[in-house]
């Protein structure tokens, strides 16, 4: 195990006092019976994983977790950008309730004093701990990761995080650059480490401390990669030779795509290696050889993060905590790798809103480990002899990240927060997402009928703001004051339907009689969402009464 640091000694002293107070104040189940929670959030991770049938990706440790988990095949974020998505699923409220569509407001001040998942666990006797990127840092979490409401101790951020966007990428000219593509020799970077490595080390230290605590813990670990820049140990490139990397299956901007629906991926254009390509704005295109390099680095970043998840889960095993800890792995949203000619999130397409989501629940999704048995032994992604692992149990129903709050509460044996009234700005504790607990009621006999949701509930909602009808410099991330249009999107098992309507940012009101554009894609015949038939269907015939 890792040696303790001076900061950890301080942590031990503080933790002792925190746990002592919790033991006397904790309501509900006894601490001995309570399940711990390990929530792993991977930034910008689309379901490009072996357990989601992507045969190119080497993700053996996440695949191993999936083999012991309930894996949701069709989970969707509520807005495909970091801060709004994270505030949404951590509070269990939609962006129209948190009123956060950008990065520049704190929901407790501008919307309502809404409880968060870690706050709820903290109020129910848990020690709650944050490592890495859990809340988006900055104004949207009050420059404090929502402390002291959500966390028992101040959130941990890796010291090497400050170098992420600096000139640390060695270019072909031998000079250091601020590039998009940034494979590095870890020994040569500032501090000789990377943020996600530091987060894993800190999370393991916390697990070691919590092992001897009488209080249950809620530990959230947020990994930075594969968020841009693609700054990762260069050896992971070897897993993805360029000759094996294909372009996206639909690399062209679809002919029927409304201009308002397109995002011009301005953030990657600011990187030095992309600037050198002298791409036209807003539609590009990126040269084919550079497209392959972007995809290679994204996949390599995924495999790098997989090793960090593997080390973390292996430590959970070694500390004999796997039999008493619920493990959840998910992402805040996906990322387009050339699909529709886009290289970012910032849209309502499946490729940016669909996320991995899996729950390991000891004794439910997998048998309790026997004495000495390891559920999560570390697997080296470079070991070609390792066999691909099949996911454990799977659910195909459409679900939303909003469901994390009620589902985690229920799995931990806490009271599930009630459904929110409309409006709910005055209600501190409620949830707008479905409780997914019925998906964990597995059939005892194979012939038993499966549990299915009400077809009306098999809907996932997403939304994205725009400042104008055509792509411009701030189309990807408009500030609240500049939002003129909101794209509301319904995803069902059969179709994705999006309508772009007028929006008043002062009143937070959408005007559904002011339709700027629409999109309609049928899943069976157009799974990549390239052929917009909205105008053929006259759009408005679809049921907007389904909106929550």
Would you say residue 30 lies in a domain? no
Q: In total, how many domains does the chain have? A: 1
Residue 73 phi, psi (nearest 5): -75, -25
Would you say residue 475 lies in a domain? yes
**Dist. CA 234–CA 430, nearest whole Å:** 45
**CATH number of the domain that residue 303 is part of:** 3.40.720.10
pTM for the whole structure: 0.93
Length of the chain as a residue count: 548
pLDDT digits (tens, 9 = 90+) for 480-517: 999 999 999 999 999 999 999 999 999 999 999 999 99
Cβ partners under 8 Å of residue 143, min gap 6: 137
**Dist. CA 198–CA 50, nearest whole Å:** 25
Which pLDDT score is estimated for 11? 43
Would you say residue 11 lies in a domain? no
Is 543 buried (19+), middle (13-18) or exposed (0-12) by CB count in 10 A? exposed
Q: For residue 301, give the nearest of 38, 46, 2 by alpha carbon.
A: 46
**Dist. CA 116–CA 142, nearest whole Å:** 14
Would you say residue 387 lies in a domain? no
**Dist. CA 498–CA 214, nearest whole Å:** 49
CA distance readout (Å), 27 to 33, 34, 43, 215, 372: 12, 11, 34, 12, 33
Which pLDDT score is estimated for 32? 60
Residue written as tokens 């995803």? Answer: 491
Would you say residue 5 lies in a domain? no
Task: Please give the structure tokens belonging to residue 169.
Answer: 């990428």
Q: Where are the alpha helices (DSSP H) in 29-106?
A: 60-67, 82-91, 95-98
Are 439 and 397 in contact by the 8 Å Cβ rule? The answer is yes
Catalytic residue among 19, 51, 68, 82: 82
Is 136 an active-site residue? yes
Are 45 and 302 in contact by the 8 Å Cβ rule? The answer is yes
Q: Which domain holds residue 172?
A: 42-382+395-536
Largest CA distance in the chain: 66
Would you say residue 36 lies in a domain? no
H/E segment holding residue 195: helix 195-211
Low-confidence residues of the chain: pLDDT under 70: 1-32, 443-457, 538-548
Is 224 an active-site residue? no
Catalytic residue among 136, 177, 227, 516: 136
Would you say residue 259 lies in a domain? yes
Residue 188 DSSP one-character state = G
Which pLDDT score is estimated for 147? 97
Would you say residue 6 lies in a domain? no
pLDDT digits (tens, 9 = 90+) for 345-369: 999 999 999 999 999 999 999 999 8
């Amino acid at each position: 195990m890792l040696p303790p640091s001076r900061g950890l000694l301080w942590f031990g002293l503080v933790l002792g006092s925190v746990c002592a107070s919790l033991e006397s104040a904790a309501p509900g189940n006894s601490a001995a019976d309570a399940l711990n929670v390990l929530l792993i959030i991977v930034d910008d991770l689309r379901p490009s994983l072996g357990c989601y049938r992507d045969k190119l990706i080497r993700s053996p440790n996440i695949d191993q977790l999936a083999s012991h988990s309930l894996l949701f095949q069709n989970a969707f974020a509520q807005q495909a950008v970091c801060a709004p998505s994270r505030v949404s699923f951590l509070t269990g409220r939609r962006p129209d309730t948190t009123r956060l569509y950008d990065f520049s407001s704190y929901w407790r001040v501008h919307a309502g004093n809404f409880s968060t998942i870690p706050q709820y666990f903290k109020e129910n006797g848990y020690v709650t701990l944050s490592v890495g990127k859990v809340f988006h840092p900055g104004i949207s979490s009050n420059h404090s990761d929502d402390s002291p409401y959500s966390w028992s101790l101040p959130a941990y951020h890796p010291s090497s995080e400050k170098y992420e966007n600096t000139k640390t990428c060695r270019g072909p000219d031998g000079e250091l650059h601020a590039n998009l593509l940034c494979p590095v020799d870890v020994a040569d970077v500032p501090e000789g480490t990377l943020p996600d490595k530091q987060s894993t080390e800190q999370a393991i230290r916390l697990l070691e401390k919590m092992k001897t605590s009488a209080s249950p813990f809620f530990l959230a670990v947020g990994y930075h990669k594969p968020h841009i820049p693609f700054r990762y140990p260069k050896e992971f490139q070897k897993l993805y030779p360029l000759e094996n990397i294909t372009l996206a299956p639909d690399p062209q901007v679809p002919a029927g795509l409304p201009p308002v629906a397109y995002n011009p991926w301005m953030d990657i254009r600011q990187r030095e290696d992309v600037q050198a390509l002298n791409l036209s704005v807003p539609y590009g295109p990126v040269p084919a050889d550079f497209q392959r390099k972007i995809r290679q680095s994204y996949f390599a970043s995924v495999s790098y993060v997989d090793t960090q998840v593997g080390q973390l889960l292996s430590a959970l095993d070694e500390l004999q905590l796997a039999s008493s800890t619920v493990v959840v792995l998910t992402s805040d949203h996906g990322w387009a790798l050339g699909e529709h000619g886009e290289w970012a999130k910032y849209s309502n397409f499946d490729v940016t809103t669909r996320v991995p989501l899996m729950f390991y629940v000891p004794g439910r999704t997998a048998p309790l480990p026997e004495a000495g048995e390891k559920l999560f032994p570390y697997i080296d992604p470079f070991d070609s002899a390792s066999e691909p692992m099949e996911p454990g149990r799977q659910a195909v129903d459409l679900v939303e990240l909003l469901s994390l709050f009620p589902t985690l509460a229920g799995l931990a044996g806490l009271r599930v927060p009630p459904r929110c009234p409309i409006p709910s700005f005055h209600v501190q504790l409620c949830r707008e997402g479905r409780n997914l607990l019925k998906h964990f009621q597995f059939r005892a006999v194979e012939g038993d009928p499966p549990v299915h949701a009400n077809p009306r509930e098999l809907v996932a909602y997403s939304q994205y703001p725009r400042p104008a009808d055509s792509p411009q410099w701030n189309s990807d991330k408009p500030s609240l004051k500049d939002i003129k249009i909101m794209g509301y999107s319904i995803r069902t098992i059969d179709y994705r339907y999006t309508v772009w309507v007028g929006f008043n940012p002062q009143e937070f009101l959408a005007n559904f009689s002011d339709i700027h554009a629409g999109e309609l894609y049928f899943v069976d015949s157009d799974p990549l969402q390239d052929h917009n038939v909205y105008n053929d269907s006259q759009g408005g015939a679809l049921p907007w009464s389904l909106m929550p």
